[in-house]
Structure 1
Amino acid sequence: MPLLVMKFGGTSVADLDRIKNAAEKVKREVERGYDVIVIVSAMSGKTNELVNWVETTSPLYDAREYDAVVSSGENITAGLMALTLQEMDVPARSWQGWQVPLKTTSAHAAARIEEIPRDNIDAKFAEGMKVAVVAGFQGISPEGRITTLGRGGSDTTAVAFAAAFDAERCDIYTDVDGVYTTDPRITDKARKLDKIAFEEMLELASLGAKVLQTRSVELAMRFNVRLRVLSSFEDNDETSGTLVCSEEEIMESNVVSGVAYSRDEAKMTLISVADRPGVAAAIFGPLAEAGVNVDMIVQDISEEGRTNITFSCPVNQVARAEQAVLKAKDDGEINFHGLVADKDVAKVSVVGIGMRSHTGVAAKMFESLSAEGVNIKVISTSEIKISVLIDRKYMELAVQALHDAFGLEKTA
């Protein structure tokens, strides 16, 4: 039988009525002739509640016990989904990560998937089971302990199962009906995309779009797993949602496919750094060790042996970054005259595989921002992306201007 993977996020299984609604969608796919693997998240808000219980009980908690507690939310959803399907006369059973078994590394709360053997689930399909309801976000370590995959881990679980079982497709059900050219809350001209390439989705996810978790898109691109993003709260057909697929499946697309933004950014500048071999390593090594997620990096032209180095990071990591570079200075690893942090910036990016074969994208981007009086502080580019740091108060204006400039409300 052809196999389909269906993943339901927390809002899609927030209560018994929504679980029943999701189960009806699964039943429809079974009636179309599919065997189905359903990946479920914990009911909306449950994981946060469990995390809070752990942190209240034990501020310096044992990470192994943290995973044992926090993973239980998905177990509840899986059992309720299986029971709901059984009430609909659909042969289904629930699976916890260790029962599959989904094998992971030993990095508790941030484990990575190593292997998903097919034998146990395939045997049950052969016996007549039509739906395997698998608790997302969790697996088992080589030591036999329950592990969790980190935030968004259920998306990663779903893609990994689709790859392991050669699924025809992996459907990700959320509270939105697809991937848009930008956030519809910022501009009503935002348009839902029928298809988007893996690379574009990966860039958008990493730049602030919250529709799909970055690790899941990386995995889908690696194993060429076709993803479909669609709404749990609408009646869907084969044309619903947005298909995330290989570039070869997209006949023609706009030069720019989407505009992404990240509101909570900060810009940090080390002033008058002694310019010598190894200075960048001496700065960014301590930042990495401190867990600071550095993004854009710019180094000025050196004058008289000194230079300025600017980088961006999440605004909630500024204190950690300051501590790391000041300690490196005190230890004599780097020499600079000042440190300036600007916590009132945002990152706005345009993304599109069409940039590879079209010129003038940067010029159009900069001209449209200039026309709106938006000053660019830092620029970063890749083959299919251009990002700028700007004052946060201009973020929505910049997104709207770029969406209009590149005609994203129109199809290619």
Structure 2
Amino acid sequence: MPVLVMKFGGTSVATLDRIKRAAKRVGVEVAKGYDVIVIVSAMAGKTNELVGWVNETSPMFDAREYDAVVSSGENVTAGLMALTLQEMDIPARSWQGWQVPVKTTSSHSAARIEEIPSDNIMGRFAQGMKVAVVAGFQGVSPEGRITTLGRGGSDTTAVAFAAAFNAERCDIYTDVDGVYTTDPRICEKARKLDKIAFEEMLELASLGAKVLQTRSVELAMRYKVRLRVLSSFEEQSDEAGTLVCDEDEIMESNVVAGVAHSRDEAKLTLLSVADRPGIAATIFGALSDAGVNVDMIVQNISEEGRTDMTFSCPTDQVKRAEKALAEAKTGGVLNFSEVVADTDVCKVSVVGIGMRSHTGVAAKMFKVLSQEGINIKVITTSEIKISVLIDRKYMELAVQALHDAFELDKAA
């Protein structure tokens, strides 16, 4: 039988009624002849509750025990989903990560999947089981301890299973009905895309779109897993949702596929840094060791052997970055006059594989922002993306103006 992977997020399994609704969708696919692997998240709000309990019990917690507690939310959902399917006379059983086993690294709370042997579950399919309900977000380390994959890890679990079992498709059920050209809460003209290329989705996910976890898209692109993003709250058809697929499957697309935004950005500038070989490695090595996620980087022209270095990072990492740089300066590794932080900025980006073969996208983007009186602080580009850092108060205006300028409300 062909295998289909179906993943249900926390809002899709938030109550027993919603679990029943999700189980009915699984039953439809079983009736079509699929063997189905269902990946479930914890019920909405449950993971936050469990994390809170851990923090309250042990502020300096043992990461191994943290994973043991926090992974339990998915175990509950998996058992309830299996029971619901059994009540519908569908042969099903639940699987925890260690039972499959989902083999991961030992990095607790941020583990990476290394291997998912298919023999165990495929053997049960051969014996008549129709649905394997697997707890997402979790696996087992080489030491035999439960691990978790980081927030949003159930998406990654689903794609990894689809790759390991050579599934026909991986359906991600969530609280939105697909991938939009931008956030519909900001721009009422936002349009749902029928298809989007892996590369475009990866850029949008990394730039602030919260539909899919970035790691899951990376995995899907690497193994050519066809993803479909659907709403678990709406009636479905075979054409519902958005298909995330290889570029070759998309006949025609707009030059720009979407506009992404990230509200919680900060801009830090090191003033009067000694301009010498290896200075960038020193700066960003110190930031990396401190766990700071640096994004946009700009170095100014050198004057009299000194230069300024600007970079962006999430606002909640500013203090960590300032501390790391101060320690590097105190230790004599780094020489600069001061660090200036601007925590009132945001990042707005346009993304599209069509940029590879069309000129003028950057010029158009900058002109639109200029006409709206929006000053650009930092610019970065890739082959299919242009990102700018601007004052946060202009974020919604910039998103709406760019969406209009590139006519994203219209299909290609």
Same fold, judged at TM 0.5 (above): yes
Provide the residue aligned with 1:90 in structure 2: 90
Provide the residue aligned with 1:257 in structure 2: 257
Residue aligned with 1:163, SS: helix
Identity across matched positions, percent: 82
TM-score, normalised via structure 1 length: 0.99
Determine the C-alpha separation between the residues in 1 that align with 2:300 and 2:289.
25
- What is the RMSD of the two structures over their aligned residues, measured on CA atoms? 0.6
Provide the residue aligned with 2:355 in structure 1: 355
**Letter of the structure 2 residue corresponding to residue 230 of structure 1:** L
Q: CA deviation at 1:369?
A: 0.3
Q: Which runs of 5+ in 1 are unaligned?
A: none
**Letter of the structure 1 residue corresponding to residue 356 of structure 2:** R
**Letter of the structure 1 residue corresponding to residue 194 of structure 2:** D
Q: CA deviation at 1:59?
A: 1.2
Determine the C-alpha separation between the residues in 1 that align with 2:341 and 2:283.
15
Determine the C-alpha separation between the residues in 1 that align with 2:338 and 2:61.
38
Q: Does 1:285 align with 2:275?
A: no
Q: CA deviation at 1:262?
A: 0.3
Which shifted more, 330-339 or 97-106? 330-339
Q: CA deviation at 1:338?
A: 2.1
Provide the residue aligned with 2:116 in structure 1: 116
Provide the residue aligned with 2:234 in structure 1: 234
Q: CA deviation at 1:81?
A: 0.2
Provide the residue aligned with 1:146 in structure 2: 146
Determine the C-alpha separation between the residues in 2 that align with 1:115 and 1:337.
49
Mapping 1:153-164, distance limit 5 Å: 153-164=153-164
Which shifted more, 379-388 or 337-346? 337-346
Q: CA deviation at 1:304?
A: 1.2
Determine the C-alpha separation between the residues in 1 that align with 2:303 and 2:59.
49
Q: CA deviation at 1:3?
A: 0.9
Residue aligned with 1:171, SS: strand
After TM superposition, where is structure 1 displaced by more than 3 Å over at least 4 residues in a row? none
Determine the C-alpha separation between the residues in 2 that align with 1:38 and 1:339.
49
Q: CA deviation at 1:70?
A: 0.8
Provide the residue aligned with 1:346 in structure 2: 346
Which shifted more, 209-218 or 322-331? 322-331
Provide the residue aligned with 1:175 in structure 2: 175
Residue aligned with 1:387, SS: strand
Residue aligned with 2:380, SS: strand
Determine the C-alpha separation between the residues in 2 that align with 1:62 and 1:334.
34
Determine the C-alpha separation between the residues in 1 that align with 2:269 and 2:104.
39
Provide the residue aligned with 2:8 in structure 1: 8
Mapping 1:20-31, distance limit 5 Å: 20-31=20-31
Deviation per CA, 1:223-267: give whole Å up to 9, x if none: 000000000001111100000000000001000000000001111
Determine the C-alpha separation between the residues in 2 that align with 1:69 and 1:362.
48
Residue aligned with 1:267, SS: strand
Determine the C-alpha separation between the residues in 2 that align with 1:270 and 1:59.
33
Q: CA deviation at 1:269?
A: 0.6
Q: CA deviation at 1:14?
A: 0.2
Mapping 1:12-411, distance limit 5 Å: 12-411=12-411
Residue aligned with 2:22, SS: helix
Determine the C-alpha separation between the residues in 2 that align with 1:62 and 1:313.
28
**Letter of the structure 2 residue corresponding to residue 267 of structure 1:** K
Q: CA deviation at 1:335?
A: 1.3
Determine the C-alpha separation between the residues in 1 that align with 2:192 and 2:302.
46
Determine the C-alpha separation between the residues in 2 that align with 1:210 and 1:220.
16
Q: CA deviation at 1:303?
A: 1.1
Which shifted more, 397-406 or 62-71? 62-71
Residue aligned with 1:348, SS: strand
**Letter of the structure 1 residue corresponding to residue 347 of structure 2:** K
Residue aligned with 1:317, SS: helix
Q: CA deviation at 1:60?
A: 1.3
Determine the C-alpha separation between the residues in 2 that align with 1:272 and 1:115.
48
TM-score, normalised via structure 2 length: 0.99
**Letter of the structure 2 residue corresponding to residue 31 of structure 1:** A
How many residues of Structure 1 are paired with residues of Structure 2 in the alignment? 412
Q: CA deviation at 1:143?
A: 1.0
Determine the C-alpha separation between the residues in 2 that align with 1:389 and 1:43.
36
Determine the C-alpha separation between the residues in 2 that align with 1:161 and 1:64.
24
Determine the C-alpha separation between the residues in 1 that align with 2:330 and 2:93.
59
Which shifted more, 189-198 or 330-339? 330-339
Q: CA deviation at 1:334?
A: 1.5
Residue aligned with 1:205, SS: helix
Deviation per CA, 1:371-410: give whole Å up to 9, x if none: 0000000000000000000000000000000001101000
Q: Which runs of 5+ in 2 are unaligned?
A: none
Q: CA deviation at 1:187?
A: 0.8
